[in-house]
Chains A and B, each alone.
Chain A
């Protein structure tokens, strides 16, 4: 079964750093892009960026460029989304999804809730 399993919920303070993960299984992790999507409380989906774990080619939405870092460790089939200095406005659910240039996002992780509050 193709699966993406994300790390657990996080509660952080403003200014702290954070790295959340997304582990793939059941398919060739290095052969598919992984994308990240933000969903703020009660709001819609926002496409953040994608990474190709095979060579770490990474692309960002202009809205998120410089705000987050997307990375991957292909040796453990895991992609990451990280912040160096969190803000309250980063409070959201974050999803990873297997992504293809021909079909969008076909397999989704369960989501990671990030809460940033003083």
Chain B
């Protein structure tokens, strides 16, 4: 099973600042990497797929990069609605044993 490790566990950021979240895979997942945002009491929402493609309706301040085993989600200027938990997920293998990272909580500094 591919293990996804996110860092840091918690990121304290002031509104308007940049946030950089990391996700590492235990083996290469090519660009088959998605990022999700989850707010309290809500279902997750797809932000990024293919490591760097924004999903429909996702603001341009969200960007993804990386390939292979190292990935980054960047939020260029944090808005109040961006404080949430972010998960990465690899969907590389088939038959699928897709896995999520443990999440990074972005909180207000």
Contact = CB atoms under 8 A, between A and B. Distances in A.
Given A104-B34, A104-B91, A47 B1 contact: no
Given A95-B44, A109-B43, A103 B50 contact: yes
Binding site secondary structure of chain A:
strand
A44 B44 contact: no
Interface string B92-109: 001111111111000000
Chain A: number of interface residues, binned into ranges: 20 to 34
A45 B49 contact: no
A43 to B, nearest CB: 9
Interface of B: 1, 34, 36, 38, 43-46, 49-50, 53, 55-56, 87, 89, 91, 94-103
Interface of A: 35, 37, 44-47, 50, 59, 61-62, 95, 97, 101-106, 108-111
